[in-house]
Amino acid sequence: MPWFIRRRFLNSVFGYEIHVGARMGLAWVFPGKLIMAAGSHIDHFTTAIHLDLVKLGENASIGRGNWITGLSTSGDHKHFKHQADRKAALIIEEAAAITKNHHLDCTNEIYIGKFATIAGYQSQFLTHSINILENIQDSAPIKIGAYAFVGTNVVVLGGASLPAYSVLGAKSLLNKEFTEEYMLYGGVPCKPLQTISKDAKYFLRTEWFVY
């Protein structure tokens, strides 16, 4: 059915908050709560299920063919009972973008700051794993700072953080929290490689699209 009818249906039946200026293609997106601000969009063939929340800020975007899953905190699950504050959520702030063909495991929250870009293809964001010592499923959030740039085909693990105004090189493994901004990080596992000028035009953008 046409998008304007789908939008009204999703808002009225599921209680979603999809702005009249937001758009969704042929995608299977059914979290507990969906918030899409003006100008945000989700492209064709993206799947986002078993989450508490998907929230897109103004002009934020999720590209084609992304696989976004988690484990909602609603229901009687045996897993993660030791994490009472866990939230299965994907939050994408203003003008941030996820390109296409990535896998995001939102068993715990993945936060992407404003004007950040998850670029390229086939990156994996994995918020949960098995705690070998305790023999339980465990999870931790992932944070990507504002204006950060994440290169293609990376792996980002739960508990990791990429600072604002920084770059994660292609095929890197980000497995811990970093704090230094204006830095290129890379490697397996990644480490600080070199500083980046604060005058880099990517960090000074006022428009969401890079021409």
63-109 pLDDT, tens digit per residue, is 999 999 999 999 888 899 999 999 999 999 999 999 999 999 999 99
Q: Is the pLDDT of residue 202 over 90?
A: yes
Average pLDDT, the chain: 97
Q: Calculate what percentage of the chain has a pLDDT beyond 70.
A: 100
Give the pLDDT confidence score for residue 211 in this predicted structure. 86
Which stretches of 102-141 are assigned E, i.e. beta strand? 103-105, 110-112, 117-118, 124-126, 128-131, 136-139
* Residue 77: predicted pLDDT: 86
Residue 198 scores a pLDDT above 90: yes
Which whole number is the average pLDDT over 51-56? 98
Q: Is the pLDDT of residue 183 over 90?
A: yes
| Superfamily of domain covering 3-74+83-178 | Hexapeptide repeat proteins (2.160.10.10)
Q: Give pLDDT tens digits for 1-52.
A: 899 999 999 999 999 999 999 999 999 999 999 999 999 999 999 999 999 9
Instruction: Sketch the domain layout of the chain as residue ranges.
Output: 3-74+83-178
Q: Vertex 70, ends 64 and 73: CA angle to 5°?
A: 140
pLDDT exceeds 90 at position 201? yes
Structure letter (DSSP) for residue 4: H
Total length of the chain: 211
The pLDDT of residue 78: 87
In this prediction, residue 32 carries a pLDDT of: 97
CA distances, 105 to each of 32, 76, 153, 159, 176 (Å): 16, 20, 15, 13, 17
Supply the pLDDT for residue 59. 98
Report the Cα–Cα distance between both ends of the chain, in Å, rounded: 32
Single-letter residue type at 104: L
DSSP 34: E
pLDDT, residue 133, reads: 96
Residue pLDDT, tens place only, 106-160:
999 999 999 999 999 999 999 999 999 999 999 999 999 999 999 999 999 999 9
Model pLDDT, residue 103: 98
